[in-house]
């Protein structure tokens, strides 16, 4: 359990975190659905060679995911260094928990 102890002490190495993020993302059912159902819709119909375009789309998605994960990690590190109280973290968690369904509802009702 040295990994748990290291994370509590704030000494987890960045590559270890990156590997953990990759394993979580790769085993996420949403990722499987994205790569098998969503991304192929952006390929040309009837194209004979779809491997390269699909790999490029997948690489672009992974790059965006990587940038977002780095942003979350940076924000979390910044908040930690500011000494945010437990109560403030709970409020922030609640606000972000409400924001996601709120944004989903907004997108669902958006008309073009």
Q: What percent of the chain has pLDDT over 90?
A: 17
CA distances from 84 to 10, 13, 72, 100 (A): 15, 22, 16, 22
The answer on pLDDT for 99 being more than 70 is: yes
Q: Please enumerate, as own/partner, the contacts of 78-87 that have beta carbons within 8 Å and a separation of 24 or more.
A: 80/10
Three-class secondary structure of residue 94 per DSSP = helix
Looking at residue 112, the DSSP 8-state letter turns out to be: -
**8 A C-beta contact, residue 25 and residue 15:** no
What confidence category does residue 1 fall into, taking pLDDT thresholds of 50, 70 and 90?
Answer: very low
């Amino acid at each position: 359990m040295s990994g748990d102890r290291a994370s509590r002490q704030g000494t987890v190495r960045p590559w270890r975190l990156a590997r953990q993020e990759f394993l979580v993302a790769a085993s996420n059912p949403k990722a499987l659905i994205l790569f098998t159902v969503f991304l192929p819709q952006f390929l040309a119909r009837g194209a004979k060679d779809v491997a390269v375009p699909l790999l490029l789309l997948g690489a672009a998605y992974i790059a965006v995911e990587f940038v977002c994960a780095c942003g979350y990690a940076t924000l979390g590190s910044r908040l930690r260094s500011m000494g945010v109280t437990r109560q403030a973290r709970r409020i922030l968690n609640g606000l972000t928990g409400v924001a996601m369904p709120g944004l989903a509802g907004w997108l669902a009702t958006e008309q073009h």
